Amino acid sequence: MPKRLSSDHWILLSILLCCVGLRFGVIVLRFDELNSDPDSYLGIARNLIEGNGYSTPGTDTPTAFRPPLYPILISVISSESLVWGRGLLNLLAAAWCLVLIWKIAENLGLSRSGRILATLVYGLDPLLLRYTSLSMTETVASFMSALLLWRLTLPIEPSNVKQTEPSTWRGALLTGIIFGLCVLTRPTYWVFAILYFVMICWQCFRLRSTERSQLFQRYLAVAMGVALVVGPWLVRNLIVLDAPVLMTTHGGYTILLGNNEAFYEEVVNQPFGTVWDGSNGPGQAAWARDINQQMDDLSLSTEIERDRWMSSLAQQTIRNNPSLFVQACWLRFARFWNVVPSGPAADQIPGTVLYAVGTYYTCVWCLLIAGIVSLFREEASSRRRWIPVVFLVISFTTLHLVYWSNVRMRAPIVPALALIAGAVTTGRTSMMARRLKRLSRRSSIS
């Protein structure tokens, strides 16, 4: 046993050195990109450290347009001279994510080969390799997903069967805190919470009253953990924005971006692969200018007003164009699961690199299908352990059927995808175990 554990540790260390080394190389090659700020996280972080609060870059106007965790994390390393600190943060997040994926795979009962495959699928993922050199949330969000899945897949120790024990309460509270940090990184995790809540309600109907009470107490502790983390953000928004914003004021823009008549006409009605670059109409930039002009003409000055107006306009567009909305949902699904980036993101990538990326993801998707088939062959008790992993994939995919979608949006679920890919060996292992069990029974009878 010590030798086996030692070899496992050496394997994990080798994977860490390889995958973190690749990311270090990407950072070195694209070091200057860490000072770019496409999503305004750096601008908000610099406002925080300068004493201007969580405000729109270049102003002191309070904002809730972006989730707060990442700007808070990088606030002390947001200056251009500390660019190495943001690169180090991405490296540490990726390294810890690899360790957590290995631990989650152990919790789920994957074999050594399954654990190796899962960590490599995450560690070599081209999407996350690319975003290592950017001051954006992709790497941190994938780490938060792995941390959440690690908590939700932990086996219950025999001593902790009673859900009222202090150790279990502390564990449930910790799980809630971790989930709170997740939603402050990407609000999409709230969809995961809804799915999980539905499952809990279903469980309650099937339990005895005492077990139902224990389960309720445990998830009450989880809710308390979430409230401890998310509550200050909610109260802050109520005070400075005069609205109880639980998520962000970015949702209206994101749903309108994927559901407006210009996008439907210039992209959805065009052949697959068409990008919104102005080749079939005025283009995305012209549409954005027009939308901003409309909001200015209506004297919509606050983020809350603009967010609600854009959300309402998107809903109206969906009602007026139901068939095009369905086509747009299919397009967003295809973009979310595409094997190569498209549009401006792909313009600067050499053809050979795009081919390599497409080949990699095609192989991973094949592993995913095989992994899902293997899980279906498992016993019901084994499949239940995979519910958090599967729910995470379903929740992000479902949300981005309606909201704007591209390859980048699936970065937080890469740990879950890696684990499912690693399950490709599970079906064979369990099938062999069942055969051996049947043989042992026959021999004992004879």
The pLDDT of residue 157 is 53
In a domain, 315, yes or no: yes
The pLDDT of residue 429 is 45
What are the CA-CA distances from residue 104 to residues 109, 210, 232, 385 (Å)? 9, 30, 30, 10
Average pLDDT, 10 consecutive residues per value, the chain (446 residues): 67 94 95 92 95 92 95 95 94 97 94 94 95 95 97 70 56 94 96 91 74 78 95 96 94 95 93 86 92 93 94 96 95 93 68 88 95 85 88 96 93 96 71 45 42
In a domain, 157, yes or no: no
Under DSSP, the state recorded for 34 is: G
The pLDDT of residue 346 is 64
Q: Could you tell me the two tokens for 331?
A: 């397009």
Q: Could you tell me the two tokens for 437?
A: 């069990």
Q: Model-level pTM?
A: 0.90
Quote the domain boundaries for residue 265: 247-333
The pLDDT of residue 301 is 87
The single-letter code of the amino acid at 102 is W
In a domain, 415, yes or no: no
In a domain, 254, yes or no: yes
Under DSSP, the state recorded for 344 is: H
The pLDDT of residue 215 is 77
Q: Are 121 and 421 in contact (CB under 8 A)?
A: yes
The pLDDT of residue 222 is 92
In a domain, 257, yes or no: yes
In a domain, 83, yes or no: no
Q: Is the dihedral of CA 124, 126, 129, 131 positive or negative?
A: negative
With a CB cutoff of 8 Å and minimum separation 6, the contacts of 414 are 122, 125, 127, 128, 142, 145
Domain count, the chain: 1
In a domain, 352, yes or no: no
Give dist(CA 419, CA 246) in Å, integer. 30
Q: Is the dihedral of CA 7, 12, 16, 18 positive or negative?
A: positive
In a domain, 260, yes or no: yes
